[in-house]
Amino acid sequence: MTINNAVSNVLMKSKECKTCEPTVIKHSSMDPIPLPKLYRLRSFLLTSTLLGMAGLGIYELNSVGSQAHFTIGVRTITNMGLIAILSNVMRRLQKSHHDLDQMTQRCQDALRLLDVCAVEEDNQLSQTLTVQDLYNNAPCGYHSLSPDGIVMLINDTELKMLGYDRAEVVGKMSFLEFVAPESQLKWIEKFQVLKAKGIVKDVEILLKSRNGEVFPVLANSTAITDKCGNYLSSRSTLIDVRKRKKVELALQKSEAQYRGIVEDQMDLICRFLPDGRLTFVNKAYCEYFNLDPDSLLGKCFTPMVFEDDRAKVEAQFQSPSPDFPVTTIEHRAISASGQIGWQSWTNRAIFDESGTIVEYQSVGRDISDRKRQDAAMVKLTKALELAVVGIAEVNYLGRFVQVNDAYAEMSGYDNAELIGREWWQLIIAEDRSKAIRAYQTMMEVDRAEVEIRSVRKNGEIFDRKIVLVKAYDENQQFVGHYSFTQDISSCREVDRLKDEFVSVVSHELRTPLTSIAGALDIVSSGILHTRPQQAHRMVTIAAQNTERLVRMVNDILDMERIKSGKITMEREQCDLAIILQESVEVMQMLADTAHVELKLNTDSVSVLVDRDRMIQVITNLLSNAIKFSEPHTIIDVATSLIDPSSSNHPVTFQLNKPSVLVSINDRGRGIPHDKLATIFEPFQQVDASDSRQKGGTGLGLSICRSILHQHNAPLWVESNLGEGSTFYFALS
């Protein structure tokens, strides 16, 4: 096709006036003519007819279907361009003095026709262009090869891929020239297959671009054949798989690494389906259960869970959700050898797009040792909590972090009250420096022991022995100390009592022994040989002291045996009035000697007591009352029934249930207030001379209290100095 110079000239001008204001054809009798956006081939013809009529040019059209020129025309003549052309036509027509109205009418008719045709052609062209555009700019390469492999058609993408121009390739080059040497044989073979079978699919070959770069492509081809099935050309797509290959390689590498990591893990790793069937197990998993992968994969893991724990495990797999896909569980597992061990698992549920669990991947470890330690720790903690020894954990600031019950009880505080307090606050001021020294020793040698006095919450001071043990964390950093504490007040008291007992006993025993030895010495020396009266007196002294000695030794043994529970009380139902009567009779002689009157005032009352021991108690109390009474005074022995809930008797505070109260009241010297409690302790007397003057041992009341204690009966005394004393005991 050729377009004559006049048209070319107009076209050139129309290109140049792209920035011009659009010129709208106007005429007094006409509305503005709407112009189509693009004018197609027929538009050209009509426009050119107009131009021809105007004597502006002649064109020739050899082939209506020549797309190349057609495309140029379409691309060149824009709306603006056509307006420019028509404006030009108008001007030229005016200059030619033709009948303007007639020409305008024809022009208008022509343009209307153009409108109709243009819309139709616009659609066709648009489709053709779309296909062409798609062909050339497709993301993959397209080409067609002649039977001898010459490139007949090739799209822009493939040309770009290879680095060539269309003109150099189409009709000139064989596709084989683009195939890298290592893939050429394969390509030849596949091209033969294509020609023979009409299709080849997913052939991966290496191409070589103009700049020498070799790259992989995936080719798919179909053959276009004539009616007899003879190959005419191919239609092939080429996908550049460089990126995919890279990703594949990277994926393979990372999978290999991942597998390596998973396989080398000490932890047990597995994947399984929602029904429990294993899809992957690592080496550690196989080793734990002593099974090879083949005997595990595809099998459900549930039988390897200890029976009692299965429900717990199954329930746990119901709980994950896409928002919380991870769960943890500890359960027992059974190995192939039947051994039961503890495992800890972290399970991650894998969900599909619909939120359904498709698989689990789990990491587990053997925690049997930890479980054993935990169990031991629980026992130990329990033991420490219940320990009689006070145990406290103190931080590096010296503040209590934790204390056991024994520690709290010892100090008189609640556990919670102690937490946060400084440990040395419980120590009395005078002993704090001693405690600090022990602390310093502990800091140096990890352990120290000290005996110090502490203060209970109620202010009471008590002795305690503390063992301080330095505490470290898992990084061997000092974090504080443990304090193991024993209340040694009672030990101290026992020690004190023992010391006192030994000194008193040795003193008490030595006194009569010295008398006996002295008296016997004199007698045996013979110096009283001629003085029988004096010799007799010496022997009497020896005999009296021996008797006292025997009494004392008996009392000591008695007391010891009662206190240690070696003597059991033979309790029987007795009439207390009779027991009191007998006791009074036993002591009557002594009372007579002391010129003291014993007065008994009692009613018959049945009590469950050890009769002999009860007589021992009463006679001992009577003996004291007689000893410490002035001559010609009265000792009242009485009983009364007391119900503490209804009675207002002054002694009811000593009782907590209805009791028979026995009272022995004398009008003797009385007992100082500060001795009212101590006289019940062994060897405790109001006056040191009492034992000498009154012949006592200081053990009687202690024995009485022990006997009555065995009867759950309290014993106490009320006294006013110089007025007398009343000893009470209550049997219930």
Our CB check for ligand ADP shows the closer of 54 and 671 to be: 671
**Count of residues engaged in binding ligand ADP, rule: CB under 6 A:** 21
Six-digit token pair at 73? 């025309």
Q: CA-CA distance, 453 to 725, in Å (whole number)?
A: 38
Outline where DSSP puts E strands in 520-595: 572-575
Q: CA-CA distance, 83 to 17, in Å (whole number)?
A: 10
CB of 678 to ligand ADP, least distance (A): 9
Q: In sequence order, what are the residues at sequence separation of 6 or more whose Cβ sits closer than 8 angstroms to the Cβ of residue 439? A: 448, 468, 481
CB of 636 to ligand ADP, least distance (A): 12
Give the residue, chosen from 628, 651, 705, 706, that forms a contact with ligand ADP under the rule CB under 6 A. Answer: 628
Q: In sequence order, what are the residues at sequence separation of 6 or more whose Cβ sits closer than 8 angstroms to the Cβ of residue 624? A: 696, 700, 701, 727
- Spell out, one character per residue from 630 to 669, where the chain touches ligand ADP: x when CB under 6 A holds, - when not: ------------------------------------x-xx
616 interacts with ligand ADP by CB under 6 A? no
713 interacts with ligand ADP by CB under 6 A? no
CB of 568 to ligand ADP, least distance (A): 23
The answer to whether 186 touches 207, Cβ cutoff 8 Å, is no
CB of 559 to ligand ADP, least distance (A): 10
610: nearest Cα among 638, 577, 555, 568:
568
DSSP letter at 33 equals P
- Spell out, one character per residue from 574 to 613, where the chain touches ligand ADP: x when CB under 6 A holds, - when not: ----------------------------------------
The answer to whether 703 touches 696, Cβ cutoff 8 Å, is no
Q: CA-CA distance, 725 to 572, in Å (whole number)?
A: 30
Give the residue, chosen from 725, 728, 729, 730, that forms a contact with ligand ADP under the rule CB under 6 A. Answer: 725
Per DSSP, the residues of 681-705 read STT--SSTTHHHHH---S-HHHHHH
512 interacts with ligand ADP by CB under 6 A? no
Parallel, antiparallel, or unpaired for β 447-455 and 461-472?
A: antiparallel
Q: CA-CA distance, 213 to 179, in Å (whole number)?
A: 11
Our CB check for ligand ADP shows the closer of 624 and 706 to be: 624
41 interacts with ligand ADP by CB under 6 A? no
110 interacts with ligand ADP by CB under 6 A? no
185: nearest Cα among 206, 200, 165:
206
729 interacts with ligand ADP by CB under 6 A? no
CB of 518 to ligand ADP, least distance (A): 23
Q: CA-CA distance, 172 to 152, in Å (whole number)?
A: 8
625 interacts with ligand ADP by CB under 6 A? yes
CB of 681 to ligand ADP, least distance (A): 9
| CA dihedral over 424, 425, 426, 431, signed as positive or negative | positive
CB of 701 to ligand ADP, least distance (A): 3
Our CB check for ligand ADP shows the closer of 450 and 552 to be: 552
- Spell out, one character per residue from 212 to 241, where the chain touches ligand ADP: x when CB under 6 A holds, - when not: ------------------------------
Which residue number places its CB atom closest to ligand ADP? Answer: 696
Residue 89 to residues 26, 95, 227, 232: CA-CA distances in angstroms? 13, 10, 52, 49
Our CB check for ligand ADP shows the closer of 293 and 672 to be: 672
- Spell out, one character per residue from 669 to 708, where the chain touches ligand ADP: x when CB under 6 A holds, - when not: x-x-------x-----xxx--xx----xxxxxxx------
485 interacts with ligand ADP by CB under 6 A? no
CB atoms within 10 A of CB 154: 26
Q: Which residues bind ligand ADP (CB under 6 A)?
A: 624-625, 628, 666, 668-669, 671, 679, 685-687, 690-691, 696-702, 725
